[in-house]
Chain A
């Protein structure tokens, strides 16, 4: 109960700080962000784009973890948890792709440029789509859970390729690509030259959205499980 209030306060603060704190040349006070050349006011999108992409991957990771649990114990509850995690992951993946395209438009000039990292969030979207398509084509519950679990694991194995390997070795526009002069093959999180207060807001945003994801996932899988229970009760009479 209390953590929901904490979540509300946290995300409200993040939204207020992330959107309204001014961007100035030389930040003197804690509530000012530094100016990043080329981005000016639009740098604030990082507070929303990166957590979305992060949650899209976390959603997929959780879906795969519960898929593995299902394969071991054949408990359909795990399948419901996996499904709920994937639903939310898909939503955040769509948000990440759209915010990424918007950021690309004013940073690099066009909405889509087939940069490897941009391609990989799109590939994640395709994986989610394929997973849901596979699920909808199987009737039997057990088969559906088993096959979608197997596909989830196979697809998850390709995710490290997309997130870590491809953006380093291929030419691209994100910092850290093969043709980047400053940081060739840089770290997993793009080096953004944020000052301390920006970093604080950024991590608060990441934590806040993760807690929000956890809450929505709980509501999701609980409603699936209760629906099953109530259906069984009604059938039994």
Chain B
């Protein structure tokens, strides 16, 4: 256990970096997901507009 704590102390900055990267990847994945869903809604709306135009 001693060696593990010493390792953590000496490399704290990398631990910070890994945590920050995990947060960033999480945020990016969330945004990417939102973007995909928005694209789907956009396509659906365009389809509905097409159908309305065809009805006229």
Contacts and interface: CB of A to CB of B under 8 A. Distances in A.
A226 B24 contact: no
A224 B29 CA distance: 21
Contacts, number: 40
The B interface is mostly helix, strand or loop, or mixed, namely helix
B31 interface: yes
Given A20-B13, A229-B45, A219 B20 contact: no
A125 interface: no
Interface in A89-113: none
Given A4-B32, A233-B48, A19 B24 contact: no
A19 B17 contact: yes
Given A20-B13, A216-B31, A233-B48, A226 B21 contact: no
B48 A222 contact: no
Interface residues of A, number: 18
A19 B28 CA distance: 19
A161 interface: no
A208 to B, nearest CB: 10
10 contacts: A11-B24, A11-B28, A12-B24, A19-B16, A20-B17, A215-B31, A219-B34, A219-B35, A226-B42, A229-B45
Interface of B: 13-14, 16-17, 20-21, 24, 28, 31-32, 34-35, 38, 41-42, 45, 48
Given A8-B28, A223-B38, 13 more contacts: A4-B35, A11-B28, A15-B20, A15-B21, A15-B24, A19-B17, A41-B13, A219-B31, A219-B34, A222-B42, A223-B34, A226-B42, A233-B48
